[in-house]
Amino acid sequence: MVKMGILGAGKIAGVMAATLREMDSVECYAVASRDYDKANAFVKQYGFAKAYGSYEEMVKDSEVELVYVATPHSHHYDHIKLCLEHGKHVLCEKAFTLNEKQAEEVFAMAREKGLLLTEAIWTRYIPMRKRLDDVLASGVIGKPYMLTANLAYVVGDKERIAKAELGGGALLDLGVYTLNFASMVFGDDIEKITGSAVLNEDGVDLQHSITLTYRDGKMAALNSSALGLSDRRGVIYGDKGFIEVMNINNCEGIKVYDLERNLVSAYDRPEQISGYEYEVEASVYAIQRGETQCLQMPHEESLRMLRWMDELRSQWGVTFPGEA
């Protein structure tokens, strides 16, 4: 059983904690916050063993094996390094870092130290990803030519979205999911990536539209917003039908339609704790085998997603404090 620590005690950390306590492969061991009282309350709520009032204290605990980093995007780079420097395996929330350069550095560090470092982009790990792969491979919709995907929540007023100093914007928080969806379905051999965005007064995007054009002629049209609510659907268009993915952020089901738009098959999501358990299980599996990355989300894939987002931010004129 792997002893886990959680770095950060916010909302997403709570979802992970509630998931971990239902799992047999990990032990809910430690939680760290910059506020000890907050960490202690978190420990009592979710049944962890230890609370720490600083991140540095927790990573010095020799019992902690795997750390889940659940802090704002702006802090991921420093917190990953802190964990690796103290010999901890790391599962870090998306967006993995602010940019590709930061990710390259910490991945190299993890390889040098022989430690697992992987991105917690849960859609890469869930069983429905394999189901979608199988449906596409069956040829039921023929040759796919285009996909659309959207993800939008009314979260534009939240600091983690609105402030550049926290690595904010819809792209790193929401668009990362649509980009990953396109990558999982169509791959990564793109000819060009273009987009347009609406920025707030702090210079980060609150909504955007992205087009990926692939070298083989496929296209992906992706939309995300932190201002309005969307249906979160993905649709893959083929020459013999189309596939509808219900909720690209945590696939609830897959529906397949023929050329007459008749529903020909449907697949429901299997029972799960929260969906976070799969990235944890993958991390434990990799640690047990001495791997420094997870098969479901290799380092190169995280780097590619950041490369795409770096390019889009460059087009939009979005920079974060400290970036050149």
Domain harbouring 256, CATH code: 3.30.360.10
Model confidence, pTM: 0.96
pLDDT at 324 over 70: no
Q: Which of 86, 101, 121 is the last residue of a domain?
A: 121
Summarised one tens digit per residue, pLDDT across range 46-64 is 999 999 999 999 999 999 9
3 state DSSP class of 15: helix
Summarised one tens digit per residue, pLDDT across range 165-199 is 999 999 999 999 999 999 999 999 999 999 999 99
Summarised one tens digit per residue, pLDDT across range 12-46 is 999 999 999 999 999 999 999 999 999 999 999 99
Mean pLDDT of 239-253: 97
Same domain, 148 and 101: no
Cα–Cα distance, 176 to 301 (Å, whole number): 12
Same domain, 14 and 72: yes
Inside any domain, residue 291: no
Mean pLDDT of 96-110: 98
Rg, C-alpha atoms of the chain: 20
Inside any domain, residue 283: no
Q: Which of 62, 87, 121 is the last residue of a domain?
A: 121
Same domain, 39 and 84: yes
Same domain, 70 and 141: no
Inside any domain, residue 282: no
**CATH number of the structural domain spanning residue 71:** 3.40.50.720
Inside any domain, residue 156: yes
Instruction: Give the residue among 163, 95, 152 at the shortest CA–CA distance from 312.
Output: 95
Domain count, the chain: 2
Catalytic residue among 94, 101, 163, 240: 94
- Burial profile 181-192: b = 16 or more Cβ within 10 angstroms, e = fewer: bbbbbbeeebee
Same domain, 116 and 154: no
Q: In the structure encoding, which two tokens stand for residue 124, read together?
A: 């890469």
Inside any domain, residue 309: no
Same domain, 112 and 6: yes
pLDDT at 300 over 70: yes
Same domain, 165 and 77: no
Inside any domain, residue 234: yes
3-state SS, 81-129, equals: HHHHHCCCEEEEECCCCCCHHHHHHHHHHHHHHCCCEEEECHHHCCHHH
Same domain, 30 and 108: yes
Inside any domain, residue 243: yes
Same domain, 147 and 106: no
Inside any domain, residue 85: yes
94 catalytically annotated: yes
Cα–Cα distance, 232 to 250 (Å, whole number): 9
pLDDT at 137: 97
Same domain, 174 and 71: no
One-letter identity of residue 22: E
Between the CA atoms of 189, 193, 199 and 203, what dihedral angle is there, to the nearest 10 degrees?
A: 70
Same domain, 174 and 103: no
Same domain, 172 and 53: no
pLDDT at 322: 84
Domain that holds residue 210: 127-271
Categorize the per-residue pLDDT at 323 as very low, low, confident or very high, splitting at 50, 70 and 90.
confident
Q: Which of 59, 94, 121 is the last residue of a domain?
A: 121
